[in-house]
Amino acid sequence: MSTWVSRVLDQNPTPSGERRFNAIRGLLLALAGLVFILVSTLVVAYDAIIPGRSNIASLQVGDIAPQDIRAPFDWRYESAVLTERQRQAAMDSTAPVYDPPDPNVARQQVQLARQILDYIDNIRRDPFGTLEQHIEDIEHISALTLDRRTIETLLSLSDESWRALDAEIISVLERVMRQEIREANLDVVRSQLPMQVSVRFNENEARTIVAIVEDLLRPNTFPNPAATEAARQAAAANTPPETRAFERGQIVVREGARIEPVDYEALAQLGLLQTADRRLLDIARAFFASLLVLVVVALYLTRFRPSLFDDLPMLFLLEALLLIILVGARIFSGNDQIYIYPTAALALMFVALEGPQIAIIGVIALAVLVGLMANKSLEIGVLVLLGGLFASLTLRREERLNNFFISGLVVACSNIIVVSVFNLEMLDVGEGDNLGLLLLYSAVNGGFAAAVALAGMYAVTLLFNLPTSIKLMELSQPNQPLLQRLLREAPGTYQHSLQVGNLSEQAANAIGANSELVRVAALYHDIGKMLNPAFFIENQADNVNPHDVLRDPYRSADIIISHVTDGERLGRQYKLPARVRDFILEHHGTTLVAYFYRAALEQAEDPESVDIDQFTYPGPKPRSRESAIMMLADSCESTVRARKPTNKQEIADIVQQIIDARMRDGQLDDSGMTTNDIRTVRSIFIEMLQAVFHPRIDYPTIPAPVDGQPEIAAEVAADELLDANMPVRGEAARYPEPPLNDEGGGVSVSQTSELPVVHVEDDEPLPEVPPLRRTGLSAETGGGEDGALSAGDSRREPAEDKAERD
């Protein structure tokens, strides 16, 4: 069930299917709420719902009547059970509603008939084929099932008879297909075909026409589920209510008969099931408490964590864990066992799965229900509430297993204080031993909570493959087979992924996102490059670029884009959690592989013939703050690495340009990131990239020692140069910028200067290429405002396109 739910909800709904998608999600949410209310009511009011069954008052549906049960008075009532049965029968007897005949079906079949007849005509006109060859050719027509006699008739017709038969086939088919043909009456329509054939044809010709037409007939009207359901509902609404009447002394249920729903309803109407105890009151109390808890939790999530409603598998898992802990509390509710039951394990698991905010509301819900279940005990409610709150607020860095036991120790201390406050009077009545036992239970409770939480997290990770802290810690280990394979087969991509992970982690920490998840996802986001590592620039050695040999922008773009789908497939193969695989699909969103798109435009005689979809990543766009952070980190890291900026301002400009481009393209629209989040992420990226891609010092070459003169160690000379001559960053502007060399390749070092200079070890940064708009492209403009590469620049790859290829 959970797998099906995940598959349905992981789909990216199209606008036309959005209504259905939302309806399914709403239905699942309603079902989850209903399950919660029913299960929690059953658990809390278990003693009232399932009491002893020694008398009539406690009879339930399915029980055997211990005696004849008679009506105590005259009574007439509308039976909801019988009315519902009649309405259901009316709905079941309602015939399906069909749509009007679809003319497109008729057109398709007529077109098919025209193609088949033309093919047969060509066979008839073939002067070189033998009769057997002609028969065999017609037998191979998959849409027809003609016998040999019919085929021979077709081949033996004169040209004039063939033309008449050809026209009649089309005429009959068109005439019949205008009628309403359902799947159920298709055979009936076929049986009536001989009556549709003109009498001017002889028996063999008429049989041939019928044989061809009946093979081409198809249903052209189909059931309309919505209209059918409306008709069913209308039939149910028009069904009058059923009434039952009993006279005083009339037998309602005979001895030995099984109590059916209609009998149970009659007993309730006659007041025979009402008891003097408080069963119904207890059930109503449990029901309304469950309903209120559900409403409060829903309002809380709507206010503080609305994104959880989009992750229904996780929501269902949290609900299941809450109900499991509640059922356990019912089992341990006898005597003093509830004091040792580790309810705080729920808080620890919730923190590990969704954070302390969700854990707090889960603890409050559990405390209300457990307190009501334990005979409305304020002590037990407070014990569960405070223990859970302390667990929620003290568990940090859940990837460290010992932190669970530290939180468990805090829970134990909280439990001891609560039990002492509520039970100090036991010392006055000589029950100190019992108080000591309760305090021992409360202390052991904390350790049990940590152990149960760890066991539960392990089971959840194993069964549902969720990105829990334990799973993420496992995936982040360098000895993971997939990471080892990435390191061996695409070492440049591996290093790039490490840098993206570092960038993403710091940015996620700064805006309060899941930094552990985004860091691990970054390690795996480019695993698809392993299948074609040499086609990505970070893995190319000796300036050998396979794209230059390939010279096919379509094929190159396909290879670049396929690393996303290949990565998702590898992720499934290696059983990466679905949440981690989402990052692989979303880290390029629906962006354009602009370099190869421009190359295709230059190669094409007609630029309008270039399909932009072939150069666009399939998406979807980032659907969370974490995946949006990784998209930006991926682009910024690769672009900065490609351009090798020489100062912080250049890095800032690159980062800002990339963020602006992604925002203009709408890539961040579904991520939930705010303007403040983007501003914070930008600042973090600039500082981190500045630390990684800072300029290097080009130390002068140490001259060879003169005969008889001691050799100077390189490191000593470098230290002396740094101490004596190297300006600090604030002083760098005082020195004139040295001239560029003849190739424009970087800053040259004067042969006569004794001062070390900052050396940029790459070509001067290429101008930034803004993203292409996806409409209005032309050969002259190459895309309107964005422009295109000139013929002289076609071999030179802009830095941002390098980033895309990364």
Residues of the chain with pLDDT > 90, as a percent, come to 32
Per-residue pLDDT reduced to its tens digit, 721-734? 233 333 333 333 33
The closest of 363, 372, 386 to 297, measured between CA atoms, is 363
pLDDT at 569 over 90: yes
Task: Please report which confidence band the pLDDT of residue 15 belongs to, taking 50, 70 and 90 as the band edges.
Answer: low
Q: What is the pLDDT of residue 706?
A: 52
pLDDT average, residue stretch 124-133: 84
Q: What is the pLDDT of residue 609?
A: 87
**What SS3 class is residue 705?**
coil
pLDDT at 750 over 70: no
Instruction: Please give the Cα distance from 754 to 288 (Å, whole number).
Output: 86
pLDDT average, residue stretch 775-804: 35
| Span 476-694 CATH architecture | Orthogonal Bundle (1.10)
Of 188-192, 220-224, 457-461, 624-628, highest mean pLDDT: 624-628
Per-residue pLDDT reduced to its tens digit, 76-124? 888 888 888 888 888 888 888 888 888 888 888 889 888 988 888 888 8
pLDDT average, residue stretch 339-344: 90
Of 199-203, 290-294, 474-478, highest mean pLDDT: 290-294
Per-residue pLDDT reduced to its tens digit, 415-433? 999 988 888 776 665 667 7
H or E element, residue 519? helix 515-524
Q: What is the pLDDT of residue 702?
A: 58
Of the listed ranges 70-84, 282-296, 482-496, 647-661, the one predicted with least confidence = 70-84
Q: Report residue 788: phi and psi, to 5°.
A: -145, 165
Residue pair 561/593 in contact by the 8 Å Cβ criterion: yes
pLDDT at 803 over 80: no
Residue pair 398/371 in contact by the 8 Å Cβ criterion: no
Task: Please report which confidence band the pLDDT of residue 663 belongs to, taking 50, 70 and 90 as the band edges.
Answer: very high
Per-residue pLDDT reduced to its tens digit, 21-72? 788 888 999 999 999 999 999 998 887 777 654 456 667 788 888 777 877 6
Q: What is the pLDDT of residue 719?
A: 34
Domain ranges of the chain: 2-8+17-47+278-466, 60-95+230-269, 103-216, 476-694
pLDDT at 754 over 70: no
Q: What is the pLDDT of residue 700?
A: 63
DSSP for 92-125?
A: HTSPPPBPPP-HHHHHHHHHHHHHHHHHHHHHHH
Task: Please report which confidence band the pLDDT of residue 362 belongs to, taking 50, 70 and 90 as the band edges.
Answer: very high
pLDDT at 484 over 90: yes
| Helix extents (H) in 619-727 | 625-643, 648-664, 675-692, 714-724
Provide the whole-model pTM: 0.53
More confident residue, 674 or 707: 674
Q: Is the dihedral of CA 324, 326, 329, 333 positive or negative?
A: negative
Query: Of how many residues is the chain composed?
Result: 806
Q: What is the pLDDT of residue 354?
A: 85
More confident residue, 190 or 51: 190
pLDDT at 12 over 70: no
Per-residue pLDDT reduced to its tens digit, 585-615? 999 999 999 889 999 998 888 888 889 999 9
Instruction: Please give the Cα distance from 18 to 608 (Å, whole number).
Output: 32
Residues of the chain with pLDDT > 70, as a percent, come to 80
Q: What is the CA radius of gyration of the chain?
A: 39
Of the listed ranges 218-227, 611-620, 747-756, the one predicted with least confidence = 747-756
Of the listed ranges 492-506, 547-561, 562-576, 769-783, the one predicted with least confidence = 769-783
Query: Any residues with CB less than 8 A from the CB of 55 and at least 6 apart, and which?
Result: 66
Q: What is the pLDDT of residue 16?
A: 54
Q: What is the pLDDT of residue 399?
A: 65
> Which of the 8 DSSP states describes residue 185?
T
Q: What is the pLDDT of residue 246?
A: 85
Of 29-43, 448-462, 761-775, highest mean pLDDT: 29-43
Per-residue pLDDT reduced to its tens digit, 686-718? 999 988 876 666 556 555 555 544 443 333 333
pLDDT at 337 over 50: yes
Query: Any residues with CB less than 8 A from the CB of 135 and at least 6 apart, and which?
Result: 148, 151, 152, 155
Q: What value does the mean pLDDT of the chain take?
A: 79
Q: How far out from the chain centre does Cα 192 lie?
A: 52
Q: What is the pLDDT of residue 233?
A: 86
Q: What is the pLDDT of residue 71?
A: 78
Q: What is the pLDDT of residue 287?
A: 93
Task: Please report which confidence band the pLDDT of residue 525 belongs to, taking 50, 70 and 90 as the band edges.
Answer: very high
Residue pair 595/786 in contact by the 8 Å Cβ criterion: no
Is the preceding omega at residue 767 within 30 degrees of 0, hence cis?
no
